[in-house]
Structure 1
Amino acid sequence: MFMGTLKMARPLHPYLVLVAAVLLPGAGQVINGMPTRALIMLFFMLSLGFVTMQLAPPGRSFIGSHAGGVFVYAIAVMDAYMIARYRWEMFRTRAAVQ
Structure 2
Amino acid sequence: MRRPLHPYLVLAAAVILPGGGQVLNRMPTRGLIMIFFMLSLGIVTMELAAPGRSFIGRHAGGFFVYAIAVMDAYMTARYRWALFRQRLSAPSL
TM-score, normalization: structure 2? Answer: 0.96
Partner Cα separation in structure 2 for residue 84 and residue 28 of structure 1: 9
| Aligned counterpart, 1:63 | 56
1:80-95 paired onto structure 2 within 5 Å? 80-95=73-88
The structural deviation recorded for 1:9 is: 1.0
| Aligned counterpart, 1:41 | 34
Runs of 4+ in 1 over 3 A off after TM superposition: none
Partner Cα separation in structure 2 for residue 62 and residue 11 of structure 1: 36
Gaps of 5+ in 2: none
Partner Cα separation in structure 2 for residue 46 and residue 9 of structure 1: 33
**Equivalent pairs: percent with the same residue?**
77
- What RMSD, in angstroms, separates the aligned Cα atoms of the two structures? 0.5
Gaps of 5+ in 1: 1-7
Partner Cα separation in structure 2 for residue 96 and residue 36 of structure 1: 32
Give the total of aligned pairs.
91
The higher radius of gyration belongs to 1
In the alignment, residue 67 of structure 1 is paired with which amino acid?
Answer: A
